[in-house]
Amino acid sequence: MTAAAIARPQQTFQHHALRFFKSPKGLLLIILGALTVIALPKQGVEQAIPEVLAAMAIAGGLDAGAIWLRRRRSEFPSGAILTGLIIALVLRPQESLSVVMITCAIAIAMKQLLRTRWSNIFNPAALALVASSFLFSTGQSWWGALPDLGIVGFAVLLGAGLFIADRINKLPLVIAFLAGYFCLFTFASFIGKPVDVAEIFRTPDLQASLFFAFFMLDDPPTCPIHYEDQITFALVVALVSFLVFVVVGAVYFLPAGLLAGNAWESARRQFHHMFRKPQPRPAA
């Protein structure tokens, strides 16, 4: 075998790797990986690293297996790896390793089972986080949002989030959600007791809302493309998140709001498909 023939597969791999890391999923993996590295020293490396690695491994492995069974071909499970990483960055590092792994398994199972002809219906990480709250009473510290790093962490999170939201053309969605979300809680502070909603405007809940908006809300398969649909979707998520917080007081209020938005978007897509005008056939 010639040297050129040996080098060709390596060059092909490097080409595909470069293309992946320039894609939205690749960029998001780089950003979340960087946030993880920055946040780790404050979380206890011995606890956090095994959970992050296990979450990514179990989510990626299960999704790769499911893809092979369904399509009879291998495919890099980038979306599932991101799902596992997000789950690990939201759950407390103190959660047991088995709970984190089961939560990731739930995410991938629901991603494969709850699907339409277009994509999965619900954001897998959001669905699994809500389920784990019911099943295991898990806590959510959103440590990947860098709440322990003060203004520096806030600036890093904001810069990284704005970059990826702009890259995937979801800035209107993110801005509409954050505007609606904070307006609702501000209004609630005037008509009720400000102390009941004050935590929303403080660390770590403030950083959690930004992390949620930048890295979960704008998940391309489960959110709208057109700007007007993005705004409606964002306001639905903001309203339901607000209601779950003030009525139920559950720790999963943000993921629960996203599930409501996902259901809304899936219904909108189905309705649009059912009632869209058929395209005229071209003349022979």
Both structure tokens of 236: 């639905």
Cα distances (Å, whole numbers) of residue 170 to 43, 84, 164, 218, 272: 31, 22, 9, 6, 21
Predicted pLDDT of residue 90:
98
Residue type (1 letter), 130 = V
pLDDT of 19 reads 78
Residue 172 pLDDT > 50: yes
Using CB atoms within 10 Å of the CB of residue 277, give its burial: 0 to 12 exposed, 13 to 18 middle, 19+ buried: exposed
Higher pLDDT, 203 or 16: 203
Mean per-residue pLDDT, 98-125: 93
pLDDT of 20 over the 90 cut: no
Please check the confidence at residue 163 and state whether its pLDDT lies above 90: yes
Tell me if 75 is assigned to some domain: yes
- Give domain status of residue 282, yes or no: no
User: Which pLDDT score is estimated for 2?
Assistant: 55
User: Is 4 a member of any domain?
Assistant: no
Q: What is the pLDDT of residue 179?
A: 98
The DSSP code for 129 is H
In a domain, 63, yes or no: yes
pLDDT of 12 higher than 70: no
What whole-number distance in Å separates Cα of residue 166 and Cα of residue 49? 30
pTM of the model: 0.90
pLDDT at 23: 86
Give the domain range for residue 54. Answer: 15-273
Please indicate, yes or no, if residue 9 is contained in any of the structural domains: no
Mean pLDDT value across residues 129-148: 96
With a CB cutoff of 8 Å and minimum separation 6, the contacts of 266 are 116, 121, 222
Question: Measured between alpha carbons, how far is 142 from 136 in angstroms, rounded to an integer?
Answer: 17
Amino acid, single-letter form, for residue 25? K
Longest CA–CA span in the chain (Å) reads 77
The reply to whether 38 falls in a domain is yes
Instruction: Determine, yes or no, domain membership for 183.
Output: yes
CA distance 98 to 138: 12
User: Which pLDDT score, from 0 to 100, does residue 255 have?
Assistant: 98
Instruction: Give mean pLDDT, residues 210-232.
Output: 95
Helix (H, G, I), strand (E, B) or coil at 203: coil
User: Is 284 part of any domain?
Assistant: no
What is the average pLDDT across 80-102? 96
Number of domains in the chain: 1
Residue 106 in this model has a pLDDT that exceeds 70: yes
Of 34-38, 45-49, 137-141, 269-273, the poorest mean pLDDT is in 269-273
Q: In this predicted structure, what is the pLDDT of residue 284? A: 47
% of the chain with per-residue pLDDT over 70: 90
Radius of gyration of the chain (CA): 20
- Structure confidence by residue, pLDDT tens digits, 23-76: 889 999 999 999 999 999 999 888 899 999 999 999 999 999 998 988 888 888
Beta bridge partners of 91: 140
Q: pLDDT value at position 192?
A: 83
Quick one: pLDDT band at residue 131, thresholds 50, 70, 90?
Answer: very high
Q: Can you tell me the distance from the alpha carbon of 144 to that of 35, in angstroms, rounded to the nearest whole number?
A: 6
Residue 283 burial by CB count (10 A; 0-12/13-18/19+): exposed, middle or buried?
exposed
